[in-house]
Amino acid sequence: MTLCAGAAALSLSAFPSFAQPAPPVNGVVPTTPAPPGPPPAAGAPDYGDAADQNAALGMYVQRSFDAIDTNRDGRIDRNEWAAYQRSQLQARRATFERYFKAADKDGDGYLNREEVAAAEPFLYQHFDQIDANRDGKLSPAEIRSFFRRYYHERAQADAATTKP
């Protein structure tokens, strides 16, 4: 996360609107104002202010709600929520399988170190942690197990830092 934030900060500083040409004066950092963008089409939201962003969020929430509320009764019941969760899990599994198969160049059902290095730098960095049985290759089950642990540990760390 730090690398991503650092990269974003570096990339933003390359744009003139975020450049800081002078050092802070009395605690205020002078900046070059951003040139105005093209005006939005007549009546179209420009999503540049809080009201438009809230409207966009409201539309997203409504579309999500409508997708889950399959019987259109204005409520999400336990069965609708369970069906939605199953569909999301199936979609994530299908995506994982598609990426795994694309990375598995020799088609043996495992990812060796070379395949991982070519396809997934994050997995390559953690190869030895993921390879639970130390056979030099990663199975889908080993990768899923690693990510369960990884996200569980991150959630615990986040909870520990956000609780008073």
pTM of this structure: 0.58
- Which pLDDT band holds residue 14 (cuts at 50, 70, 90)? very low
14 located within any domain: no
8 located within any domain: no
Q: What is the pLDDT of residues 79-116, one digit of tens each?
A: 999 999 999 999 999 999 999 999 999 999 999 999 99
10 located within any domain: no
39 located within any domain: no
163 located within any domain: no
Domain count, the chain: 2
**35 vs 117, residue with greater confidence:** 117
Q: State how beta strands 137-138 and 111-112 pair.
A: antiparallel
Question: Both 115 and 147 in a single domain?
Answer: yes
Question: Both 122 and 141 in a single domain?
Answer: yes
Is residue 159 over pLDDT 80?
Answer: yes
Beta bridge partners of 111: 138
Provide the pLDDT for residue 7: 35
Question: Both 86 and 118 in a single domain?
Answer: no
13 located within any domain: no
**How far is Cα 114 from Cα 66, in angstroms, rounded to an integer?**
44
Give residue 137's domain range. Answer: 104-155
Residue 121 near residue 127, CB atoms below 8 Å: no
15 located within any domain: no
108 located within any domain: yes
Share of the chain above pLDDT 70, in %: 71
Question: Both 120 and 87 in a single domain?
Answer: no
Provide the pLDDT for residue 40: 66
